[in-house]
Amino acid sequence: MTDWTAFEAAAARDADARIVDQFAADPDRVARMGVETAGLYLDLSKQAWTREGFETCLDLARSAGVEAARTRLFGGEAINATEGRAVLHPALRATKGSNYIALGEPVSAEVDAVRADMAAYATAVRSGSETGATGKPFKAIVHIGIGGSDLGPRVVWDALRPLEPSIDLRFVANIDPRDMAEALTGLDPETTLVVVVSKTFTTQETLANAEAAKAWLAAGLPEAGRDKHFIGVTAAPDKAVAFGCARTFAFRDWVGGRYSLWSAVSLSCVIALGPDVFEAMLAGAAAMDDHFVSAPLEKNAPVLLALAQIWNVDGLNRPARTVAPYAHALRRLPAFLQQLEMESNGKRVHRDGSAVTRQTCPVVFGEPGTNGQHAFFQQIHQGPQVVPAEFVIVAKTHEDAPESPLWSNALAQGQALMLGKTTEQARAELLASGADAAEADRLATHKTFPGNRPSTAIVMERLTPETLGALLALYEHKTFVEGVVWDINSFDQWGVELGKVLAKAILKDVAAGGPSAELDPSTAGLLTRLLG
């Protein structure tokens, strides 16, 4: 178990320290707390730790056995102990001819074969040699999935899509029929490919949407060749074939859903972006893997990012974090991180089943900058709760745009959160602007900013397939390190399951025309109301 004694003492000692004062006290702070790797630069110097607190966090990672756990992860051991599975998503982006092993079984040759199969199929679709039932080439893809089968590919497509894509890629996740209706509007069944992504091919929402897509295809296509429009991506290919998929692309159970975008789960993106783009993204992620494995803890980007969060959550009692990507193309990143981090580490028991006695994953939320500045940034600047911020900054987001107004806002927000503004400064500014003394006294407290609020900056020159891959892998490894330090299993998700089971029971009540005796009064009343 992790030894928290020194950590707690350091957090108590640093609780009232001013971030801005640490730069004078530690002249090498920016260099010590900055890391450059895989096309990314991380600046953690505005985090709320002194040099001693920073060193104590590194000691915490060592006492938790982060390095040994990292070895077990990349060695393909059963680190997902509750399900007896390896967790080997790094194998999916390794260079061809690698030698990854999952629970003693070599897997790299299979990974290489699937990647080659995906590339060949994508090339055939893009060239028009792979056609639909009526001989027409595919011009659109409807990607059906939910959770990791949706958020990963969706964040990739939003980040890398060209302004005028040659293939129109649309996503459907919600079981609400409106989602499917919006996706299908304007599409022609003759030129539309449906890709159904489900690890088990039993997910209720995905299968319901797949049935709707299948009916739409049946209404507009002849039976002969119709199945060419229906592709399955799954760890259960037999079920996909039985469902009506003409072709399937497989991934294994050592690929967790929220870590699966590197696999055939992103087939739609491979087709719509091209295999070369996807391979470049894998290479960027592999570069981050290499860094995570080889860099010392004090210069290890995922480790430092994780320790900053643990310091805020467990040391300083700050149970929320905001992520603000200053790039429109990364607008889905906060949603992706919500699943990656909160589904992985939103746990209440240790790996041995005993109850946790500390906080684990914080609430993660965010919006692109500068949109968020005109919404929840009021709270993070002047609210009573301290909410650490993470700014993901792209220096040049578009060829024709002057970028400095965008990224200058990110720099200013980090600076403002740290510096704040005293009541005396606010009063002086009011007087300088022409307010009389009474008015200045009345408004000064309203214009006071407490400051001393931490932030991290993650900077890249451009958002490329390589830097996107590195960024997403950075967050994956950060999540893993946090789980190790908190001594929780980051790779199961039982919290997702209970509601699914109860939903099936309620659907039986719907079919029966009313609530069963087992339902609680509130749920029974709501069911009766919704049945009309």
Helices (H) and strands (E) in the chain, counts: 22, 13
Looking at residue 164, the DSSP 8-state letter turns out to be S
pLDDT at 252: 92
Q: Is 374 a catalytic residue?
A: yes
Residues 267-278 have pLDDT tens digits of: 999 999 999 999
Among 77, 130, 205, 343, the active-site one is 343
pLDDT at res. 399: 81
Distance CA 340, CA 325 (A): 16
| Banded model confidence at residue 401, pLDDT cuts 50, 70, 90 | low
**Distance between CA atoms of residues 514 and 286, nearest Å:** 53
Let me know if 476 is a catalytic residue.
no
pLDDT averaged over every residue in the chain: 96
Residue 400 has pLDDT above 90, yes or no: no
Q: How confident is the model over 402-450, as pLDDT tens digits?
A: 667 899 999 999 999 999 999 999 999 999 999 999 999 999 999 999 9
CB 6, CB 56: distance < 8 Å: yes
pLDDT in tens, 159-171: 999 999 999 999 9
Domain 9-76+281-420+451-488 and domain 89-280, same fold? Reply is yes
Query: What is the reported pTM?
Result: 0.97
In 3D space, the residue among 284, 241, 361 whose CA is nearest the CA of residue 38 turns out to be 284
Q: Can you give the residue ranges of every domain in the chain?
A: 9-76+281-420+451-488, 89-280, 421-450, 496-531
- Short-list 377, 335, 29, 378, CA closest to 171: 335
CATH number at 9-76+281-420+451-488: 3.40.50.10490
What is the helix (H) or strand (E) element at residue 491, kind and residue range?
none
pLDDT tens column, 343-394: 999 999 999 999 999 999 999 999 999 999 999 999 999 999 999 999 999 9
Options 3.30.70.150, 3.20.20.150, 3.40.50.10490, 1.10.3720.10; which CATH number does 89-280 get? 3.40.50.10490
Is pLDDT above 80 for 153? yes
- Report how far apart, in Å, the C-alpha atoms of 116 and of each of 80, 102, 111, 417 are: 28, 20, 9, 48
Q: Which of 182, 374, 497, 504 is catalytic?
A: 374
Beta-carbon contacts of residue 242 (< 8 Å; ≥ 6 apart): none
Only one residue has tokens 């990963």, namely: 152
